[in-house]
Structure 1
Amino acid sequence: MGFPVSLRVDDEGFSGAAVDGLFAWLREVDARFSPFREDSEVCRLDRGELEPGRLGPDLTEVLGLCERYRTATGGAFDVRPPGRRLDPCAVVKGWSVQRGAGLLRAAGARRFCLNAGGDVVVAGGPWRVGVRHPEHAGRLCTAVRLTDGAVATSARYERGDHIVDGRTGRPATGLLSVTVVAPTLTEADAVATAAFALGREGAAWAAARPGCEVFAVTADRRVRRTAGFPSVESGQVAA
């Protein structure tokens, strides 16, 4: 799916077969949902080769989540913005990794940290998760303390202006980064991306989502942080 995945499990004697199952699931997701694989379900749907009313349950669930966030943002979050192909990666990443965490739990894991390209699901903490500074790769702007839950960040520093405001079709502006803590990575990742697509108003929108805590850095380098955001330390954000 275009990002590194790492796993730490602190349960003694935890089965390596369960770890193999996790990575087999993520490879399956890549094959089925990638917008870059011409034979994936997503590309076949985009080309009209799959009937919308006869999709499998997983793709139906993912597209339902995409529509939920499109509606909630007034179209700012859109997995098929004008003139572009269907690309549900903003939902698929968090959804698939969260399901992977469920596979670990089902196999008996009680204390683990699953990191997918900087978006993290943890269990049995406390765990400390660093949030990269949006302008300085070697620095953190804050760190999060979590026992059970997820944290996701949307920003421009890895892939440039890759998040598009679906209302305009142009790259989203207004935020340098937005980090969301939520009970699941399905929600944390989608809310972070949707908030970034909304621009400056996105931080307040994300903060109003039930169960979400937010740390955002605006384009003019101001920090917007909810009172319940579980940070343990912070650095200087301004350049």
Structure 2
Amino acid sequence: MARIAGEMNGIIELNERNAKNLSGIARVIAAVAEGDLFQTMDLELDGRPLDGQFLRTARTVNAMVQQLRSFTLEVTRVAEEVGTEGKLGGQAHVRGAAGVWKDLTDNVNLMAANLTAQVRNIADVTTAVAKGDLSKKITVDVRGEILELKDTINTMVDQLNGFASEVTRVAREVGTEGKLGGQAQVRGIGGVWKDLTESVNFMASNLTAQVRNIAEVTTAVQKGDLSKKITVEVQGEILELKKTIN
């Protein structure tokens, strides 16, 4: 009877240990389900170390929690660096990640790498424009709204190139080469760029009219024809010259 009683007590004790082990597993899994990744299973029970399948299960559960915690911390770090702090180039590093966790980590890193490349390319081009270098364009492969931004910036660079080239051409022709009558032709511009182009063209047109009128009168005088006078509307020093000639 004593032996049977001892065996029964052993069975009862084993069942109690099993129940406590299952309770520990349930506690950790419930914590994970609620987003608490800081709960782990004890590797001892009632002062005695776990062994066998329960030890392997406890270690597996703890490894799972550690893996999830590492994944969460790394993804959060990268998201904060890139999305909030503006620190580009960050990558999540999760040791031992496999399966869906590796896929998720890879996707987060791909997103961060793409965003880094896009922002740096945009910054490179806009910085070049600010420094007067209109030779650069956005070349990074993008989609969606970033593609729209890419197209907008590249169009802006094209328009600025056209504006700068045309204004430079007219200024050189009129101011340096003495070719009058030139006008800047810049397609698709609006706003201040259209205003600036029109101002340059107005200046070139006025200068052309003034110089040609003065040339006409002085040529007539040279030929002995004193019937002509400068009639073009002028101001400032050109007005003084007009009065002097007239």
TM-score in terms of structure 2 length: 0.21
**Structure number having the greater helix percentage:** 2
The structure whose RCO (Cα within 8 Å, separation 6+) is larger is 1
Q: TM-score, normalised by structure 1?
A: 0.21
Q: Which has the larger radius of gyration?
A: 2
Bigger share in strand: 1
